[in-house]
Amino acid sequence: MTLLELIKHRKSIRGFTNRPVEREKIMMCLEAARLAPSACNSQPWKFIVVDDKKLKNKLCKAALSGIYSMNSFCKTAPVIVAAISEKSKFLARIGGMFRGTKYYLIDIGVTCEHFVLEAEELGLGTCWIGWFNEEAVKSILNVPKNKKIDILIALGYPDWEKGPSEHSREPLDKIASFNSY
Ligand SMILES: Cc1cc2nc3c(=O)[nH]c(=O)nc-3n(C[C@H](O)[C@H](O)[C@H](O)COP(=O)(O)O)c2cc1C
């Protein structure tokens, strides 16, 4: 599959089979994430992989209930990955302040997309989760209070019977132009 074919094939998966995900495959996703570019090569990220069933269930129950229950489908995922923002290098932080750009958030986005695309290549399904109880995740995974968890990734083998949503995207001529806005 070419990269573009892989990108076209990837869709958010919101239903997973109970087949466990091999550690070897998780490591490959992490390796893809590790190699992501970042502002000043800060690499301001850390991943916590939750593949212990009991812990994962506890995490989903605490972090994805109540106002977050639209994401309760994550309980079907055998793995939840928490992406934590670490401190960027001084230059990236100063540059970001001058530019008014949160480079670390761009960095987190890029590394997570590397993770997700590698998962896709390995036949795994993923869903980015931005709506969750962060304090609950911090408490269960022993993440210091001063850290930020911007994203969770649900990971597992897709349950195709539950079918992924269709891609719905703006046409190219609406989102891109040559030589002028
Ligand atoms: C930063 C971010 C946060 C997201 N948060 C959620 C979420 O909390 N729950 C969810 O079901 N999907 C979430 N998604 C997935 C998007 O809804 C999905 O990518 C989008 O609708 C496009 O669909 P597709 O991924 O199937 O192409 C998130 C995606 C991104 C990039």
pLDDT above 80 for 9 = yes
Angle between helices 134-141 and 53-63 (to 10 degrees): 150
Mean pLDDT of 168-172: 95
**8 A C-beta contact, residue 63 and residue 136:** yes
For the chain, helix, strand, coil in percent to 5 are 50, 15, 35
Q: What number is the average pLDDT over the span 163-167?
A: 69
Residue 165, φ and ψ in degrees, nearest 5: -70, 160
Confidence (pLDDT) at 45:
98
Can you give the pTM of this predicted structure?
0.96
- Does the CB atom of residue 90 touch ligand 1 within 6 A? no
Model confidence at 165, in pLDDT bands (50, 70, 90)?
A: low
- Residue 101's alpha-carbon distances to 33, 38, 39, 113, 145, in angstroms, are 22, 13, 11, 19, 24
Give the per-residue pLDDT at 164: 64
What's the gap in Å between 35 CA and the centre of ligand 1? 23
CA dihedral of 117, 152, 83, 160, whole degrees rounded to 10: -20
Q: Which atom of ligand 1 is nearest to the CA of 14?
A: 11
Q: Which of 7, 11, 12, 134 to mutate to test the pocket of ligand 1 (most atoms within 8 A of CB)?
A: 12
Which residue ranges make up each domain of the chain?
A: 21-157
CATH code at 21-157: 3.40.109.10
As given in the structure block, the two tokens for residue 49 are: 């992989």
Q: Is 163 in the pocket of ligand 1 (CB under 6 A)?
A: no
Q: Is ligand 1 within 6 A of the CB of residue 12?
A: yes
Q: Which of 129, 151, 169 to mutate to test the pocket of ligand 1 (most atoms within 8 A of CB)?
A: 129
| The pLDDT of residue 163 | 65
Percent of the chain with pLDDT over 90: 94
